[in-house]
Amino acid sequence: MKHPLTLATVALGLAGISGHAWAANAPAASSGMTEIGDAELAQMRGRWTPPGSTSTVAYFGVTMTSNWNTSGGQQLASSMTLGMNFDAGGNLQMTFQPTVTIVQNVPTTTTGSTRDTVQRTIDSSGLANVSGLVQGVQIAGDRNLADNVTSVVVSTEGDAGTQAPATGTTFTGQSQTFALHDGDANASASIGNQGMQVSLSISGQGQVQQWINGGSLGQVIAIGADGQSVHNSLQIQLVQRSLTGAVDLSHDLAQSMSLMRGIGMSF
């Protein structure tokens, strides 16, 4: 059964938009060639993809992981893995796997205090007005470590090193939230038909978030304390289906060329 879910469409669209943006920002090669203008490109025809081509998606996955180690010995972690498996007929099966933990360890340092009396303020409200890819780090404190890392892995089905599709609970479209609370510390992972999100927060010390939804994909860290270590990791995995031997490439090429201006061809 096919599920035309918004989340699947958005995820694939974001991957395509990102690739287009990178290509557009790449420096032109110093070969003396002249770039074709947008007006001329708009009149060109022949943009066509044959059925069964290597652009067919076999698996699309997104993994978000947030980790926060505090100066007081707390370890907060939240992750969500979304897997989209497509069979040869294009039917989609979506699975998800959340992980949420809060652990209290013995502090690794005795310098400073887990709480301080200095009032610090961080305002991240403006990020709500940003669409597309969002990455932000805001820090008001000393001896902090924070980073956002995003990676994209594209492979072909059957390639050596291709990761097996993630297993988990079948996603039926119902919104679900998984959360833990320990004093002022909170960790959560949520998923719904419009997107998914992982979040960590400690009252008075800051908040960490990652999300993907209908308008944006983001990673944000806001810390208002000392001696914190925060890491956001987002990985997008795309596995393309292998080109089958049954595809007649010469016929496909003839069909594509016949759509171009000034060229008539039959096969």
What is the rounded average pLDDT of the residues 51-56? 54
Specify the pTM.
0.68
Instruction: Using pLDDT thresholds of 50, 70 and 90, give the confidence band for residue 196.
Output: very high
Instruction: Using pLDDT thresholds of 50, 70 and 90, give the confidence band for residue 267.
Output: very low
- pLDDT tens-digit series, residues 60-99: 999 999 999 998 899 999 999 999 988 877 788 899 999 9
CB proximity list for 65: less than 8 A, separation 6 or greater? 77, 78, 79, 198, 232, 233, 234
In the prediction, which pLDDT does 21 show?
Answer: 36
The percent of residues in the chain predicted with pLDDT above 90, rounded, is: 35
In the prediction, which pLDDT does 4 show?
Answer: 43
Q: Would residue 34 count as lying in a domain?
A: no
Q: Would residue 25 count as lying in a domain?
A: no
- pLDDT tens-digit series, residues 11-45: 555 544 333 333 344 444 445 567 777 777 776 65
- Residue 2: domain span: 1-15+56-106+131-242
More confident residue, 167 or 211: 211
Q: Would residue 116 count as lying in a domain?
A: no
Q: Would residue 190 count as lying in a domain?
A: yes
As given in the structure block, the two tokens for residue 85 are 């498996």
Q: Where are the beta strands (DSSP E) in 36-172?
A: 57-69, 74-86, 92-104, 132-139, 145-156, 169-170
Q: How far apart are CA 54 and CA 17, in angstroms?
A: 19
Count of domains in the chain?
1
Q: How far apart are CA 212 and CA 194, in angstroms?
A: 8
Q: If you count DSSP H runs as helices and E runs as strands, how many of each does the chain have, helices first?
A: 3, 12
The percent of residues in the chain predicted with pLDDT above 70, rounded, is: 61
Q: Would residue 201 count as lying in a domain?
A: yes
Q: Residue 178: pLDDT above 90?
A: yes
Q: Would residue 267 count as lying in a domain?
A: no
Q: Would residue 119 count as lying in a domain?
A: no
Q: Residue 229: pLDDT above 80?
A: yes
In the prediction, which pLDDT does 56 show?
Answer: 79
